[in-house]
Every structure is written in C-alpha cells, then in structure tokens.
Amino acid sequence: MSVGDTRIAPAAGPGGAGASAPPPRPVGGGRSGGPGGTLGSSQRRIFTVRKGLGLLAFMAPALIFVAVFIYYPLFAGGQMAFRNYNLNNLTDTSWVGLGNFRDILADPVFYTVLRNSVVWVVASLVPQFVIGFALALWLRRRFRFRGVYQALVFFPWAISGFLIGILFRWMFNSEFGVINDLLAKTGLIDQPINWLADPATAMVAVLIANIWYGVTFFAIMILAALQSVPDEMLEAAALDGAGRARTLFSIVIPYISVTLALTVLLRVIWIFNFPDIIYGMTGGGPADRTHIVTTWMIQTTQRGDYGRASALGLIVIAVLLVFTVFYLLAMREKGSKTR
Amino acid sequence: MKITRMTTAVSVGLATMLLASGCSSSSGGGDGDVRLQMVESLTNPTRTALLKELLADFETENPGVTVELISPPTDQADQKIQQMLQAGNGIDVLEVRDITVGPFSANGWISDMTEVLDGWEGWEDMTANAVDYATNDDGQTYYIPYGFYGLSVFYRTDLVEAAGFDGPPETWAEMLEQATAIQESGDGNYGYAFRGGTNGNGNLATAIEAYVADDIDTSNGFKLTDGSSIFSAPEAQDAADMYFELFAKASPPSSVAWGYPEMVEGFSNGSTAFLLQDPEVISAIGSSTAITEDQWDTAPLVKGPTGKAVQAVATSGWGTAESSEHKEEAAELIKFLSSGDASTRFTKENSLVPILTSAAEDEFYSTGAWASYVTMTENPDTYISVIQPRSVEWWTEWTQKADSEVQRVLVGDMTSEELLASWDEYWMEKWAE
Amino acid sequence: MIDTETRSARIVRFGFLGLWLLITLFPLYWITVTSFKAPGSIFSRPLTYWPTEFSLENYIGLFAKSQFGVYVLNSIIVSTVAATVATLIALLSGYVLSRFEFRSKGALMTAFFVTQMIPSFIALGPLYLLMTQLDLVDNRFGLILIYIAVCIPFSTIMLRGFFANVPDALEEAAMIDGCSRIGALFRILVPVMKPGIVAAFIFNFVNCWNELFLSVTLMNRDSNKTIPTAINGFISSFNIDWGPMSAAAVLTVIPTMVLFAFASRWIVQGLTAGAVKG
C-alpha cells in the first residue's frame, strides 16, 4: 500500500461529502462540503505525452534533490549494514550477510534501548498531545493579547533540539541547577535530586525537556484543525442542547480526527528518530538508561563501527515502516466504520 | 506577461544568492602559494587561540605557505577527521592521538614521516620518551607527540588541613580516608571528583594497576608478567572495592555522570576536595575565580598497597595525511611545532609534560603545581611508567563498553566482580585473536 | 465553545494558559539571566534569580573569542536560501501530486514520506564522500543543496494538502483565459495559498536554522560554521563554557522567536486553510 492512498478524506466530515468519491483518488479537502464537483474533473484527465513531460518537469527538481541527497546516501550507507565496515580497520570490509543484525539482536543492550525508545515516544507523545490539545482548545476562543500569547507560547519549536538538551542539562544540574533550587525553595525536596545521574530520574528529566519542546507542534496543528471546524456545526450542536463536552467528543474530535491521527503518526516517527535532546542532556546515560535507538546509533558510529550503525539505521526504518502501515490500516478501518 | 516576469525575477534573484553563497568558498592560493589545512581534535578555545598564534609565526617564517586551522567540536572531532581522511580530501596536517594512530595508519590514511624527518636536528632536542612515542614498533613515524598527559592528584590544601590531616593522601587507602572525612565533615563539600561518565574506566584501571604494580607488564599495562590480565588478579578486586567505596562514601552522587568537564568544574568551583587529572587542567584551575592559588596544590599519583603507583602515559601529536599534496610543507609545519619556542609555548600554556629536554630543565616545571611531576619523573621505581594498549583498533569499542559497565556498577545494575570478570574475558579474547 | 463560558471555566482556562506560559518562558528567562551573570558568579550559591549586576562580559567574550557574527550570517544565508528554494520546489511537486493521477504517484508519495523515517546518521558518511566528489564539502552552497533536499519531502506533503483544498475550477478558469499552467499556478493559486506557503517556509527555515549534525559533518572552516555548530563548540574537552554559550543561545533564540511572533498567526491560518494532511 502506499501512503498516497491514505488520505482517507473526511471520514471525519459527518456531512459525508467525500463518501461517494471512488477510492483510488484521494478525496481532497479537510472540509466537509468541499465542492464535490471539482473532484471529478481532474480525476480522469487524458494522459498525453506532452502532459507527461510537463508533469515530469514539475516533479523533476524535487525528485532529483531527494534522489541524490537522500536516497543515494541512504543506499550507499545501507549496504554497509551487510559488511564488516569498521572505520578503525578498513583493510577488510567483506560482506557478512546478516552478521551485524545478528550481533545487534544478541546484544542485551539493544532490548534496553528498544524499551527506552518506546517509553521515550509514548511518554513524550501523550502529554504533548494532551497539553497541546488543551492549549489549542483554549486558544480557539478569542481573548485580548491572544496573538501575543500565541507568539510567546509557540517559541520552543523554534529552538534546536541540541540547544534544548544543553539548556535543560544546565537547569537539571544537581548542584547549580535552577530546578533543584526551586524545588528546595518551595520545600518539596530537602536533598538535591541528581536528575541526570540517577537512573530513576534521568529518563523523567529528558522527557520533561522533550514535552516542553513538543507541545507547540501539537498546539499549532490542532489549533489549525479546530479553526477549520465550521461554526455552523457548533451552533447546530448548541441548538440541540449538546453540552460542551459532548460537542467536543461527538462533533469536534471526529471532524478533525484525520488531522489528529496524521499529526500523531508524524510525531511518532519524528520523536523516535530524534536523538538531539538526549544527546545534549545525558548522552544516553546513566548506564544506558536514556539511550534510545538513535542515540545508541550515534555512539556506535563514534566508535567507527559503521556496519553495525547502518544495520541499526535500517532497523529504525523497518520498525517505523511496519508501524506506519499498521497505523494507517487501523485508521482506514476506523474511517470506513464511521462512514 | 506579468507572471513570467515575476518568475524570472525570482529565479534570477535566487541564482545570485546561490552564487554569492558559493563563491567565497572557492579555494584560494594561486601563484604557487601553498595552503595547508590542519585539523585539531582535542579542541578548546584557549588552545585554538594559541595554535593560531603559532601558525601565524610559522607563516611569517615561511612566506608562500598559509595554514588554515579547522577546529571541529571535540565531541565529533575524531569522527570528522575519519571522514575527511576517508574522503582523502581537505586535510594536510592533523592531530593524531595515541588512540587514533593505530586505526589511521592501518587504513593507510596517515603517512610515515620517517624519510622526510630523516636528518632533522630536532630529534636531538627531544626527550627520550618523546622520541620513543614518535616511533612505533616497526620503526615508522606517524606522528610526533606535542606533549604528554599523566595523572597527578589535585587537592585542596585548606580542606585537607581543616579535616585534620598533615598532608595530601599518598595511597588510595588514604585518599578514601581523607575524602570520606571531608565529605562527612558537614560543611557541604564533597570528597572526591569521581569520574563516572565518559572515560570513567580509566581511573579504575589506574587504581587496579597500582594494586598489581609488582607484577605488571610495563609494555602492556593491562597484562601481568605471567600473561594473564590485570583484571583477573585478586588484588584487582581489592582495588575495585576501594574504588567503588570512594564513590559511595566520598563523591558527589551526581558524579555518576561526570566526565572531564564536570570533574574539572567540580574541583575548580570549590565543591570537591580531590581530583585525579592531567596537568592540562593546571591552567584551567589557575584561572578559577572560586578558589585561590593558595587553596590548592598537586601531589604525586596515589599508590597502591604495593607502595607503587603506575602511570599510564597518554599522548597526542601532529601527523600528515597520506592524501596531502603538500607533504613537504606539512612536515615543515610539524617540525616547527615540535621544536623551539613553538613547542615550549604550546606545552607551557596548555600545561603538558614537555617533549623538549630544554623545557624540562626550565624552572617553570619544577615549581608550584608542577613539582609533583618532577617527583614522579625522578622516582621511576615508585612511579612506574607503563604503556597501555591504547593504539589497538578496538580501543574506542573498549572504552564504550568499559564506561558503560562502570556506570552499571555505580547504579547497582552490576557487581564489581562481574565487571572484572567481563573485562578479563574481553581482553583475554582480544589477545587470543 | 459557542455558548458562554461559566466563571469557573474561565478561571480554569486562564489558569492553565497562564501556567503554561510560565513553564514555556522559564527556560528562556533562565538562560537570559545566566548570560548576564559575570563568569565567576555562574557557579555560585545561593542561586541568584536576578543578576546582582548586569555583566556584558559573556557577550563581549562571545564576539571577541569567536566569529559569532560570521556564524549568524552563515545561518541566515543558508537557512533563507534553502528554505526559499525548497518551498518553491515543493510548490511544484505538491501541485502535481494533488492535481494529477499517474501510475507512480503512490510510490512517489511513499518515497517522500519514508524520508521522514531515515535517521540522518546512516547517510552521513556516504553524503560526505559524495560532497567531496562534487567538491562541495566545506561550502555553504553544498550545505544549502542538502538542506533543500531535506526540506522538500515534508513541505511537498504539506503543500499538497493545501492544494487539495483549493478548487480546480480556479486555475481551470485561468487556463481557459490563456494562462499557461505554470502561469495559473503562480498567478492564481499562490496568492490564494499564501498563508500555507508561509507556513511551509517557516517550517523549513526553522529546521535549517537548527540543524546540527549535517552542518558539523560538512563544514570545516570557522568561517563556514553555522550557529548550532558553534554552540556545540562551547563544549570542549575540559569544560563547558556556560557563559558565552548562554549568550549565544539567547542571540540564537531571539531571531527565531521574532520570526515566530510575526508568523505564528500566519502559520495557524495557513494550516487551517490546509487542514493539514500528513
């Protein structure tokens, strides 16, 4: 299946405007009531050579860039996964088949790292989503200085992950860190917490940093989606006497569910692949407690073992691909049921 | 049509921007001028500034040659150097470390300078140690050390005195005693700046070596004279027990994650009383605003129950890339940096053990913080110098594994017995290959 | 939502918004305060929440010891050019992918989407070799090319979503009036989609501005470094230079924050119009 087909359009839209469109052509439009007529006209355009060339000309720049600078290095790097490719000794780079993968699977640290990755994704994502949703919901209503507020509260997204890591490493410093100081001042603790050195708290600390960073993306996306919900629908719900909570769950959420689902998918992929904060804060320590697959991969490249690192990279891609396929299938399933 | 004009304007504008951004990086030179690219690895801002001054001097002495210094962030430096060497481009002179010389030469990335350095009078001014390290077992010269690193004890004179001791610790056992007393005195200071993070394995190995000093193989600091590994000796267990007790009783809890920067910071900000470090930090601590000069001093490396300490020298130096098209000029630069004022300044201002005999006679090296280094060099039977197998190609793999296991013992995931067994197994396997 | 808010709901709402604002801004406040402390007093207890005296030493040191102005300039050039070109290219590809049907379309969409899953470290080595062959290592133009490639997939997916919401009828009418397809695209669609395009541009810009690993790998000379690389450089082998680092952090954050302040409304508007399709 291809991702291209998956824009199951407004399964969301209770109006069901898109429902009649034939499946192969993804139905445009997040808004229900997107004029159905426009869908058909482009759908069966006659395919001529001239048009084909035209399309190619339009696509060419994107394709060339992506092929040359992303896929070529990916394949060149990917083949190292099947070789004994160690920068510390390149005199023998023979093919070793699945040897690197076997080594990884035999390493107990791999399973720790995998578990950490799942914790990292889930425990970052859920709070990011919940806080982001709340923020969006409450920002939807106009209030004075909303523009200013929005600008201030969205800024974490504009900082680099590595810098955030460094910043939080500084704040979580057990002797001179401001977080311990504040906790001590408010009487919550009487002994400084060794945030980044204690196996029990290191993951919590990196998660806090990541949540702080990631709420913005959800808030922006969800706010945008919420603003696309037509007011008439909400008014109608209000007339029906539906309560606020009910309106939210039976009208608003279904309406924007596609956006929500795809935003979540994108974030899962990004967070899984996001070593920057951990790299800056703990480097994976203490005792591998905060190592996720991608930070572990960085460490592996640092000792020159490119074969093993590439194998890890391919595992990352495979895991995410499988996840995406299942996720999209589940989404489609749910979509067709709602319909 | 308006739209085409707009697109043209946009594309012309973009093309100009692209060109503008590209043009300044075209390589300079011309007129037979030589431009050398030099890459450093153990980068820090003060050292980089000093290097730039030295390079400027070199350029004045050698008209027609310019040197461009590349200073990658230390974290990624060796990896970056590897990439550049592998690509075979953009590198003439580079910082080669004792831990990178093995891999770099095995891959044919750096060149044997034996010939170009043949007959160079600079050799005569160098210490025996420096000449020794410059030449490998096969008689090849892949780099010339710029200085040496070796451990000594940095301690707080005021805290030691306040805790009722006459002087700094001489043995690991005394270190444990004094550090514990200081930490338990209740004035908020910690005893020992423990290294639990990056390269934390090194100090444990140093302690173990001191405990087995009588039987150690000086040509391979991880081996005993009977061919077994030092980690299998019963004394190694005593050393490990002592060492981890030092963490439990006398070190800041956050030091589980301390690497070089945190340890040095912990000492120079006044919060910990003892630090085991290279001379390199003398200048860093000297510039501290939290502790004054009369509050700290150095002492020779602590000994084991054997009454001996084992000093595993570490070093780093300059070499040339095999792919360099200017090997001769590169060699000139290395000669320049390895002799005379340039070398003296470099070792002095970075506080390294010098490579020149003249510098070693300098009064500078027998006073103050340096005095303990003199004590150590003058008593080679007590302070035994050994060579650790740092140039093996699996050294980085080893340090990653060993660091991770040290941390696992610290957080209680592993016992010290398991750690020693694992280290013993690792090295015996490697040696059997 | 539409009905009037009760008093208690209002308190909850503003309570939450206020609290989150505090949490968001605190790290920024802290790094700013740190940057104005005299170097010696960064490590002193008790912590001071307001510098006893404002010291500009860290900022002066930052510009005196490093070529910070050059890094800023590099970052601005690289990010602006890469984000602009990537957005333009993605405009074309997003347009095709939303308007036309062809056999390889699914595969293309998948290929674009999969790029999001690639950990950059797998490609760094080969990328370095490739750029060496193209003689584009240590060259801003080379870094720009790579940033463009990195930005294209996500912005294509994003812009495709926006196109899907603009009725075909618009550009068809224009084409009947004699516009070429590209004319119709730029003249009719682009103005309608302006907020969406701005949103895509901002995303690209921010990504390039913050990128660390590719820049560290590909840039050698000091005069070619971008800000994240420079900040990474403050972590040296034996200390972390918190003073200048915090000053650099403040100076890096400000431009992006200002950009976000101006653009945040646009971003939301743009995304609303597109109601984002992954």
Residue by residue, DSSP assigns A7-68 as: --TTSS-TT-GGGGS-TTS----SSTT--HHHHHHHHT----HHHHHHHHHHHHHHHHHHII
Q: pLDDT value at position B368?
A: 81
- B258 contact partners, CB below 8 Å, separation of at least 6: A197, B193, B194, B195, B196, B197, B200, B252, B266
Structural domain contains residue B3: no
Report pLDDT for C1.
Answer: 45
Out of A131, A175, A235, name the one closest to residue C2 (CB): A235
Low-confidence stretches of chain A (pLDDT beneath 50): 1-44, 339
Residue bearing tokens 């359009």 = A9
Cα B194 to Cα B212: distance, rounded to the nearest angstrom: 22
Nearest to A224 among C3, C167, C271 (CB): C271
Percent of chain B clearing pLDDT 90 (strictly above): 63
Distance (Å) of CA B228 to CA A227, B110, B224, B399, B429: 72, 33, 6, 20, 11
Q: How far apart are CA A86 and CA A26, in angstroms?
A: 46
Question: B305 and B178 in one domain?
Answer: yes
Contact partners of B by the rule of 3+ C-beta pairs under 8 A?
A, C
Identify whether A317 is part of a domain: yes
Both B278 and B234 in one domain: the answer is yes
Instruction: Classify residue A77: in a domain, yes or no.
Output: no
- Whether B26 maps to a domain, the answer reads no
Overall number of domains in chain A: 1
pLDDT confidence band for C10 (50 / 70 / 90): confident
Count of CB atoms situated within 10 Å of the CB of C38: 17
The encoded tokens of residue C240 equal: 């972390």
Whether B156 and B126 map to the same domain: the answer is no
* Chain B environment of A194 (Cβ under 8 Å): 253-254, 256
Residue B276 parent element (H or E): strand B272-277
Residue A282, domain member (yes or no): yes
DSSP per-residue codes, C121-172: HHHHHHHHHHHHHTT-TT-HHHHHHHHHHHHHHHHHHHHHHHHHTS-HHHHH
Q: How do B190-192 and B314-320 pair as beta strands? A: unpaired
Residue C20 has pLDDT above 90, yes or no: yes
Contact A298, A279 (CB under 8 A): yes
Q: Examine the domain organization and report whether B193 and B66 are in the same domain.
A: no
Q: pLDDT tens across B43-72, in order?
A: 887 888 899 999 999 999 999 999 999 988
- Domain membership of residue A214 (yes or no) is yes
Q: Is B426 part of any domain?
A: yes
With an 8 Å Cβ cutoff, are A149 and C21 in contact? yes
Which residues on B lie below 8 Å from A198 (Cβ)? 253, 256, 411
CATH of the domain at A304: 1.10.3720.10
Structure confidence by residue, pLDDT tens digits, B14-30: 555 544 444 444 344 44
3-class DSSP state for residue B70? strand
Q: CA angle B136-B142-B143, nearest 5°?
A: 100
Most confident of A24-28, A51-55, B160-164, B359-363: B160-164
**CA dist., res. B269 & res. B58, Å (int):** 37
Q: Within a 10 A sphere around the Cβ of A325, how many other Cβ atoms?
A: 13
Higher pLDDT, A175 or C118: C118
Question: Measured between CB atoms, does A66 come within 8 Å of chain C?
Answer: yes
Q: What is the pLDDT of residue A38?
A: 38
Angle at C46 between CA C44 and CA C51, to 5 degrees: 70
Tens-digit pLDDT profile for residues B216-251: 999 899 999 999 999 999 999 999 999 999 999 999
> What's the pLDDT score for residue A13?
31
Contact between residue B273 and residue B179 where contact means Cβ atoms under 8 Å apart: yes
Burial B162-187 (b: 16+ CB within 10 A, else e): ebebeebbbbbeebbbbbbbbbeeee
Question: In chain B, which residues have their Cβ closer than 8 Å to the Cβ of A175?
Answer: 252, 254, 271
Closest CA to C66 of C255, C239, C234: C234
Cα separation, B200 vs B403, in Å, equals: 5
Q: How much is the pLDDT for B14?
A: 52
Would you place residue C274 in the very low, low, confident or very high pLDDT band (cuts 50, 70, 90)? low
Is residue C2 scored above 50 in pLDDT? no
**Pairs of residues, one from chain B and one from chain C, whose beta carbons lie less than 8 Å apart:** 124
Which two tokens mark A2?
Answer: 């291809």
Q: How far apart are CA C142 and CA C153, in angstroms?
A: 18
Q: Given phi > 0 = left and psi -120 to 50 = alpha, else beta, which region is C70?
A: alpha
Answer yes or no: do B218 and B166 share one domain. Answer: yes
Residues B249 and B186 in one domain: yes
CB contact under 8 A, A287 and B407: yes
Note the pLDDT tens digit of each residue in B107-150. 999 999 999 998 899 999 999 889 989 998 888 999 999 999 88
Residue A27: predicted pLDDT:
34
Q: Domain range for residue B96? A: 34-149+314-361
- What is the dihedral sign for C-alpha C25, C27, C30, C32? negative
Whether A226 is covered by a domain: the verdict is yes
- Cα A210 to Cα A203: distance, rounded to the nearest angstrom: 10
- pLDDT for C42: 76
The answer to whether C238 touches B264, Cβ cutoff 8 Å, is yes
For residue B386, list its beta bridge partners: B312
Backbone angles phi, psi at B274, to 5 degrees: -125, 145
Let me know whether B170 and B270 are in one domain.
yes
Question: What is the interface pTM, i.e. ipTM, of the complex?
Answer: 0.90
C92 interaction partners in chain A (CB closer than 8 Å):
58-59, 61-62
The dihedral through the CA atoms of B89, B76, C125, B28 has a sign that is negative
Mean pLDDT of B255-271: 88
Residue C46: its chain A contacts at CB < 8 A? 181
The predicted structure's pLDDT at residue A5: 37
How close, in Å, is residue B233 to chain C by CA atoms?
33
Query: pLDDT averaged over chain B?
Result: 89
Whether B225 and B116 share a structural domain: no
B169 and B276 housed in the same domain? yes
Q: Find residue B153's DSSP bridge partners.
A: B276, B299
Q: Please list, residue by residue across B339-371, b when 16 or more beta carbons sit within 10 angstroms of its beta carbon and e when fewer do.
A: beebbbbbbbebbbbbbbeebbeeeebeeebbb
What pLDDT is attached to residue B2?
A: 46
Q: Which amino acid is at C153?
A: P
Residue B324 has pLDDT above 90, yes or no: yes
What whole-number percentage of chain C has pLDDT above 90? 41
- Going by pLDDT thresholds of 50, 70 and 90, the confidence category of residue B32 is low
The helix or strand, by DSSP H or E, that contains position B384, with its residue range, turns out to be strand B383-386
Asked whether residue A258 is domain-assigned, the answer is: yes
Best mutation target, C237, C241, C245, to test chain B (most B CBs within 10 A): C237
B220 with B290, same domain? yes
**B180-219 tens-digit pLDDT:** 999 998 888 899 999 998 899 999 999 999 999 999 999 8
Q: What is the DSSP letter of B362?
A: S
Q: Based on the domain organization, do B133 and B212 belong to the same domain?
A: no
Domain count, chain B: 2
Token couple for B247: 């963490």
pLDDT at A16: 32
In a domain, B17, yes or no: no
Q: In the prediction, which pLDDT does A264 show? A: 94
Residue type, C69: G
| Residue B8 pLDDT exceeds 70 | no
The reported pLDDT for the residue numbered B362 is: 84
Residue B217 burial (C-beta neighbours within 10 Å; 0-12, 13-18, 19+): middle
Report how far residue C228's alpha carbon sits from residue C205's, in angstroms, rounded to the nearest whole number.
Answer: 14
Residue C278 has pLDDT above 50, yes or no: no
Full residue range of the structural domain in which residue A245 is found: 99-338
DSSP C200-254: HHHHHHHHHHH--HHHHHH--SGGG--HHHHHHHTB-SS-B-HHHHHHHHHHHHH
Q: For all residues of chain C together, what is the average pLDDT?
A: 86
The CATH number assigned to the domain holding B255 equals 3.40.190.10
B259 touches chain C (CB under 8 A): no
CB A276 within 8 A of CB A166: no
Share of chain C above pLDDT 70, in %: 95
Q: Is residue B25 part of a domain?
A: no
Residue C83 makes CB contacts below 8 A (sequence gap 6+) with: C147, C151, C201, C204, C205, C207, C208
Q: Write the DSSP symbol of residue C81.
A: H
Q: Are residues B395 and B330 in the same domain?
A: no
DSSP A250: I
- Put simply, whether B49 touches C (Cβ < 8 Å) is yes
